[in-house]
Amino acid sequence: MYAQPHTEPGFMAEIVAVHLYAQWERYAEERLTEALVKHPSKFLDSNGIRRLKSIHKNPALVLVREGHRYVDFQIHRRTDSEER
């Protein structure tokens, strides 16, 4: 009737890896948001925003997430040719 729970070591390792990666993403998202809140001048200057002097936490979170529900770190990976 019911499926047996997966107790294979490989399956458990995959689940643990997924949870660790999700925790790392949330940690990185929080750090990026905090950095933007504490040091907004570089972001504001590089985007030509002259009237603001600070960014509050909620708008910073929207900027970090680029309007999505979560940060997509796949987009932010750069190759060596893009950095030059």
Q: How is residue 14 written in tokens?
A: 């995959």
pLDDT tens string 29-63: 999 999 999 999 988 998 898 898 999 998 888 88
The C-alpha torsion from 52 through 57 and 62 to 68, rounded to 10°, is: 180
* Residue 52: predicted pLDDT: 87
pTM of this structure: 0.66
* Residue 8: predicted pLDDT: 75
Q: How is residue 37 written in tokens?
A: 């809140």
The length of the chain is 84
* Residue 39: predicted pLDDT: 93
Q: 23 near 70, Cβ under 8 Å? A: no
